[in-house]
A = this chain, B = another copy of it.
Amino acid sequence: MSAAFDEAIALQPQADGSYAGHTSPAYANMVGPFGGVTAAQALNAVLQHPQRLGEPVALTVNFCAALADGPFAVTARPARTNRSTQHWVIEMTQGGATVLTATAFTATRRDTWSAGEHALPAVPAPADVPLPTGRGRVEWINRYEMRFVDGGFPAEWNGTDHGISRTRLWLRDNPPRVLDFASLAALADVFFPRIWRRRATLVPIGTVSMTVYFHADAAQLAATGTGYLLGQAQAQAFRNGYFDQTAQLWNEAGELLATTHQVVYYKE
């Protein structure tokens, strides 16, 4: 267990059915906390909810404002419960103001015909990809082991349009922690901004909405254990202040565990 991650996403049930949480200095970003951990905290309110049915299949989190370092409240409401599926509405507040909205879909799954279609790309094994040297510029970076296969940080921040924004990396929690839904939700947000990769320019950015589709169940995540995930992320369009990112996360066995998308503000 990574004490840091588990402490970061810990929530205390309140008498009114809401949960109380606190931002974690271990996951501090430039302004406020790493969004992936905020997403994991929002999902955790569903995971811990006594009325939860099944496991997460879809999660959308909307970052409404940078969280202030400190406490927050989060509510998860089962808006609709069917026989084997459930729809959740989630909201996180600080001082009464909404800082995050989210929806989630949980379901009990049955074994069916299954197939991957987006295959793990041909990449070197994790052990053959060097670790970056030095510590991250922000604290949360140090909570992940990232081995960049290609599309790492530009060698020079010189404004060159590289024409492509794709990044591939092996990644896992640091220290290693057995994969679960909360940590996978956080890992979905681990990619540095596609516009930095594409343009080699450190413009200010902020994710406004992220969606994660979980293709794996809890058993498959547990079987992945502390192994590496291959993450691949690429933008499809940059337009007037917002770009998108489409990304995949496979385990070393080549199973596509999650696909994820986000739309990100950028300043010029």
| Chain A residues within CB distance 8 Å of chain B | 57-58, 60, 62, 64-65, 79-80, 82, 85, 87, 89, 91, 97-99, 101-103, 105, 107, 109-118, 161, 164-165, 198-199, 208-209, 211, 213, 215-217, 234-242, 244, 246, 248, 256, 259, 261, 263, 265-268
Contact status B208-A57, CB under 8 Å? yes
In the bound complex, CA of A145 to CA of B101 (Å): 36
Residue pairs across A and B with Cβ atoms less than 8 A apart, 18 shown, are A57-B208, A85-B208, A89-B89, A89-B91, A107-B208, A109-B240, A112-B241, A112-B267, A113-B238, A115-B198, A117-B198, A117-B236, A118-B237, A213-B242, A213-B261, A236-B259, A244-B259, A259-B261
Residues of B contacting A101 in the complex (Cβ-Cβ under 8 angstroms): 79-80, 87, 89, 103
B79, B111, B198, B265: which contacts A91 (Cβ < 8 A)? B79
Question: Known contacts being A87-B101, A244-B213, is A57 close to B107, with CB within 8 Å?
Answer: no
A159: shortest Cβ distance to chain B, in Å? 10
In the bound complex, CA of A241 to CA of B111 (Å): 7
In the bound complex, CA of A239 to CA of B220 (Å): 11
Chain B CB count within 10 A is highest, among A110, A117, A199, A265, for: A117
Contact status B103-A209, CB under 8 Å? yes
In the bound complex, CA of A58 to CA of B244 (Å): 10
Contact status B263-A57, CB under 8 Å? yes
Question: Known contacts being A87-B98, A261-B211, is A60 close to B103, with CB within 8 Å?
Answer: yes
In the bound complex, CA of A85 to CA of B102 (Å): 17
Contact status B117-A239, CB under 8 Å? no
Chain B CB count within 10 A is highest, among A114, A164, A239, for: A239
Residues of B contacting A213 in the complex (Cβ-Cβ under 8 angstroms): 242, 244, 261, 263
In the bound complex, CA of A209 to CA of B59 (Å): 9
Contact status B266-A112, CB under 8 Å? yes
A3: shortest Cβ distance to chain B, in Å? 31
Residues of B contacting A112 in the complex (Cβ-Cβ under 8 angstroms): 240-241, 266-268
Contact status B89-A235, CB under 8 Å? no
Contact status A256-B240, CB under 8 Å? no
